[in-house]
Structure 1
Amino acid sequence: MRILVTGGAGFIGSHVSKQLLDKNHEVVVYDNLSRGFKKLINPRAIFVRGSVLEKEKLVRALKDVDAVVHMAAFIIVPESVEKPDIYYRNNVEGTRILLEAMKEAGVNKIIFSSSATVYGDPDKLPLTEESPVKKAANPYGQTKIEMENLIMKEHKHSGLNAVILRYFNPYGPNELHDPETHAIPNFIRATLKHEPIPLYWEGEQTRDFIYVEDLAAAHVEVLKLTGFHIFNVGTGEGTKVKEVVEKIFKIAGYSVQIQDLGKRSGDVGALYTSVERIEKELGWKAKVSLEEGLRRTVEFFKTLA
């Protein structure tokens, strides 16, 4: 298959592109590099520099494409609070324009990179795909809900084949965001520099941390599906953030001070998923343990030091 990956020069997109190429798919990386990195683009892929807001360029890039993996989005939660209009335009309007371009180019399959943030503060854990979608705690999460709704509407209207993957907490090599707002890369960078680790809520929050290569593999698995599907993608296990810090110290062979940042508005106490549906329907499950994933991630960040 020939697959166009929007945001393919980003953290997760670079891993998805590699795994698709390894399975002998042709890959077109479509990215404007405003948040992505040219060095993360696999040399085996075709690269088109463009924005999801550029419809004509998208239509040209979609020529002879069989499916789209849509990962292009702004994702920094604090920035979304400061600049909600920019997030709405890039994420929601960009998705609407992409869907129009796909229809014009005759492309009838999309795999969408969504987020567990659509569940808001859950009433019951573990989360399942049947858990209610709530008003998001921040504009970034709200854009993911609206992007999902656009795709669902297009499926009902035109029969678009669509898979929505709701990610939990991905981590791993190639995470080069600037500024970085995700916990694990910040913890590892601070540890390697012997600087205090910034920690909210004394690390008592529970999250479902999934290694990026496992997450990428789910995108390859769902390509064969038709119709409309939603899957939560996590490990099925919740881990306290402070336990992650302890594991990083163990890998490093030393500990550093903790910088207690107190509470943070918009944070959810616990978030983890059941993986029953994705295991049952696809036979997919996360293979890399948290310890092994952290070890590989620490090794990656050491190469940047």
Structure 2
Amino acid sequence: MQAFKAHVPRARAGAVSRRASVRVRADKVCIVNTKGGGHAFIGLHLAKQLIAKGHDVTIFNDGDQAKLSAKAPFNQYSSLRGLKVVWGSPTDYATFPQGPFDVGMVKHYVFVSSAGAYKANSIEPIHVEGDERKASAGHVAVENYLKEEGLPYTVFQPLYIYGPHTAKDCEQWFVDRVIRNRPVPIPTPGVQLVTLTHVEDVASMLAAVPGNKAAIGQHYNVCSDRAITFQGIVKAVGKALGKEPKVVLYSPEKVGTGKSGKAEGFPFRTVHFFASAEKAKRELGWKPRHDFLADAADLVAAYKASGRQNKDIDFSVDDKILSALRA
């Protein structure tokens, strides 16, 4: 797979000025989006960056166009000039977009897996490529298939993602509570480390693959190179809102809202969940442009612009926790 091919002819002897003409050949890329989850909004931002690089991009979207196209991120497709969108089903060959494609179907398969497939490690919690994976995880089954079939693949493993048109609550969960002057219930001890990665940084790492044959057969963690604590997120949101938030620490097991690293109503795992991005920085020449602390003000502004502060939010689990603590 070659994403860009540049040819610079030599200047003619005796020429007064030396001008180089560059020819760039773009790849044809197919992005397969699921009906929901992380893939759809990652696909949107990835398509934007690939189009900006001159690639020919088609999104093959699983699901009912009539039901999905009115909401984000699907309603943003029309904002990308030149993007082709095909709606269909991965199980129905007749609905597949017409290829051939250089990236996505034939010359290079790029699979967005998940860092959640790593086995938790309380001794060395930072995840590094090559760490043990959960054999039972569906993502791992796909990874194994790609390897066993000898296909040219690259696997990306994202963690928590924030930013425009993201489908799962990340920063929004914290803003919901701080903006309404509600206590923010955080699983103890509250200093668990997580990496929060802007969706544009996720897309830029994936967009670094076309033309890089060295990426074939490799796994890359997709994450910021900084970590933040649960309480740090609350404080960052509070600062952006000009408020002093109240954090309430609790044990999910003791109040009956969770077990085994999970807490009902809380958007993250209750344990450390962060990873190293050094391999991508070293091998792909990638580096993140965003920092959650620096982005907090913009995230709060986007939250307000969405009108979410005027919507009814279900705080029943919060109330259950607070009641249990008072008792």
TM bucket, shorter chain: 0.7 to 0.9
Retained in 2: the 8 A contact 1:16–1:217? yes
The code of the aligned residue for 1:114 comes to: S
Retained in 1: the 8 A contact 2:235–2:245? no
1:148 aligns with 2:143: yes
Per-residue deviation at 1:222? Answer: 1.4
Retained in 2: the 8 A contact 1:173–1:296? no
**Match for residue 164 of structure 2?**
173
Task: Report SS of the residue matched to 1:303.
Answer: helix
Q: 2:196 aligns with which of 200, 205, 209?
A: 209
Residues 278 and 247 from structure 1, CA distance in 2 versus in 1: closer, same or farther, beyond 3 angstroms?
Answer: same
Task: Report SS of the residue matched to 1:124.
Answer: coil
Distance in 1 between residues matched to 2:285 and 2:180, nearest whole Å: 40
Per-residue deviation at 1:62? Answer: 4.3
Per-residue deviation at 1:258? Answer: 4.7
Distance in 1 between residues matched to 2:60 and 2:248, nearest whole Å: 39
Aligned residues between the structures:
253
The code of the aligned residue for 1:65 comes to: F
Residues 204 and 109 from structure 1, CA distance in 2 versus in 1: closer, same or farther, beyond 3 angstroms?
Answer: same
Where does structure 2 lack aligned partners over 5 or more consecutive residues? 1-26, 253-257, 262-268, 308-327
Distance in 1 between residues matched to 2:225 and 2:243, nearest whole Å: 29
Per-residue deviation at 1:245? Answer: 0.9
Q: 2:259 aligns with which of 262, 265, 274?
A: 265
Task: Report SS of the residue matched to 1:111.
Answer: strand
Task: Report SS of the residue matched to 2:275.
Answer: coil
**Match for residue 93 of structure 1?**
none
1:120 aligns with 2:119: yes
Distance in 2 between residues matched to 1:208 and 1:163, nearest whole Å: 22
Residues 165 and 262 from structure 1, CA distance in 2 versus in 1: closer, same or farther, beyond 3 angstroms?
Answer: same
**Match for residue 57 of structure 1?**
95
The code of the aligned residue for 1:250 comes to: K
**Match for residue 33 of structure 2?**
7
Per-residue deviation at 1:48? Answer: 0.9
Distance in 1 between residues matched to 2:157 and 2:205, nearest whole Å: 11
Pick the structure with greater CA Rg: 2
Residues 249 and 293 from structure 1, CA distance in 2 versus in 1: closer, same or farther, beyond 3 angstroms?
Answer: same
Per-residue deviation at 1:275? Answer: 2.2
Per-residue deviation at 1:113? Answer: 0.9
Task: Report SS of the residue matched to 1:164.
Answer: strand
TM-score between the two structures when normalised by the length of structure 1: 0.74
**Match for residue 295 of structure 2?**
293
Render the CA deviation track for 1:161-212: whole Å, top value 9, x for unaligned.
Answer: 211011122111112x3xx4x4322112343455554533463321111111
196-205 or 24-33, which moves further after superposition? 196-205
Task: Report SS of the residue matched to 2:113.
Answer: strand
Distance in 1 between residues matched to 2:41 and 2:185, nearest whole Å: 22
Q: 1:228 aligns with which of 217, 233, 237?
A: 217
Retained in 1: the 8 A contact 2:162–2:197? yes
Residues 133 and 197 from structure 1, CA distance in 2 versus in 1: closer, same or farther, beyond 3 angstroms?
Answer: same
Distance in 2 between residues matched to 1:63 and 1:171, nearest whole Å: 32
The code of the aligned residue for 2:259 comes to: S
Retained in 1: the 8 A contact 2:73–2:165? no
Retained in 2: the 8 A contact 1:10–1:40? no
Retained in 2: the 8 A contact 1:170–1:212? yes
Per-residue deviation at 1:276? Answer: 2.2
Per-residue deviation at 1:260? Answer: 5.7
RMSD of aligned alpha carbons: 2.5
**Match for residue 282 of structure 2?**
280
Render the CA deviation track for 1:96-126: whole Å, top value 9, x for unaligned.
Answer: xxxxxx4xxxx22111111111112124243
Distance in 2 between residues matched to 1:239 and 1:233, nearest whole Å: 16
Distance in 2 between residues matched to 1:243 and 1:19, nearest whole Å: 30
1:164 aligns with 2:155: yes
**Match for residue 245 of structure 1?**
234
- 1:63-102 to 2 correspondences below 5 Å: 63-68=99-104, 102=105
The code of the aligned residue for 1:66 comes to: D
Residues 203 and 62 from structure 1, CA distance in 2 versus in 1: closer, same or farther, beyond 3 angstroms?
Answer: farther
TM-score between the two structures when normalised by the length of structure 2: 0.69
Per-residue deviation at 1:29? Answer: 1.5
Retained in 2: the 8 A contact 1:200–1:261? yes
**Match for residue 75 of structure 2?**
39
Distance in 2 between residues matched to 1:52 and 1:295, nearest whole Å: 39
